[in-house]
Structure 1
């Protein structure tokens, strides 16, 4: 898996209070407990890093793999 996906999984796991290896790269993050408030937290962090990404981009396919592609 890409370095971006691994880093992303760590960020999401931190927000969900789980270990990174508990999240699959193709797992539906909404079903894993990621709610809209936490998604917005991630978006704000990524926008500060210079990424042009919004909520609709992420909810279309809520998996670590898909999001890593958007952020790459």
Structure 2
């Protein structure tokens, strides 16, 4: 897991960087595209939820997997942080 995942992203750019660090061969993300289509796996999503929860963000795996897009996750982070 990336060092990016150990802390809660401070802005959307930091979240994008975190996600790109987890995705092999992906250089950019469409904010509305399902992250699973880019190759993000359920284990990676689960690990992100654990790391972020441990860092103080009140999210869980179900929160993230419901709508796995950069835009939805950033909105969730803003709401829960």
TM-score > 0.5, shorter chain as reference? yes
Contact 1:39 1:55 survives alignment (8 Å): yes
Higher RCO (Cα < 8 Å, 6 or more apart)? 1
Where in structure 1 do 4 or more consecutive aligned residues deviate above 4 Å? none
- Out of 19, 27, 32, the position equivalent to 1:12 is 19
TM-score (norm 2): 0.74
Give unmatched runs, 5+ long, in structure 2.
1-9
Give unmatched runs, 5+ long, in structure 1.
none
TM-score (norm 1): 0.82
